[in-house]
């Protein structure tokens, strides 16, 4: 669980920092929803990491929730950007279809999120044992 806690903390900071550096605080005036979504993701991951490092009982469930949010939240932006590249059409001006490096990065980040979600679920399953009849 220790490694997962470090990855969770790193990715929490990553989501917040990358969104802020990529778009800037001024982007709140253009599309606050997309900024808030990434900030909430970062906050959930940071909270889960804190709870895991603190050894709290709620850490396992919080890790699953945070990683599920991150995995689900990143899936559509990744697939939409990939689809734009496949079709050769820019659907959104802030997702140019020729940014292959960004598409690859989103795919890698999504895979990390998905792997951590599976790892969190596995940890939770080990912790929660079924009641014998």
pLDDT for residue 133 is more than 70: no
pLDDT band at 131 (very low <50, low <70, confident <90, very high): low
Residues 21-53 pLDDT 10s: 888 888 878 878 888 999 999 999 999 999 999
- For residues 123 and 4, the answer to whether their CB atoms sit within 8 Å is yes
Q: Which of 3, 4, 2 lies closest to 117 in space, CA to CA? A: 4
- For residues 100 and 86, the answer to whether their CB atoms sit within 8 Å is no
pLDDT for residue 72 is more than 70: yes
Joined tokens for residue 92: 């959104």
pLDDT band at 98 (very low <50, low <70, confident <90, very high): confident
What mean pLDDT is reported for the chain? 90
């Amino acid at each position: 669980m220790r490694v997962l806690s470090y990855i969770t903390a790193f990715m929490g900071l990553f989501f917040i920092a990358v969104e802020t550096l990529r778009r800037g605080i001024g982007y709140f005036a253009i599309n606050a929803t997309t900024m808030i979504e990434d900030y909430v993701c970062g906050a959930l991951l940071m909270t889960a990491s804190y709870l895991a490092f603190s050894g709290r009982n709620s850490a396992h469930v919080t890790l699953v929730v945070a990683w599920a949010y991150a995995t689900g939240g990143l899936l559509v932006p990744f697939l939409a950007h990939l689809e734009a590249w496949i079709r050769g059409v820019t659907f959104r001006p802030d997702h140019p279809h020729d940014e292959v490096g960004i598409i690859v990065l989103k795919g890698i980040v999504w895979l990390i999120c998905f792997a951590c979600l599976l790892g969190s679920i596995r940890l939770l399953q080990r912790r929660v044992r079924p009641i014998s009849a």
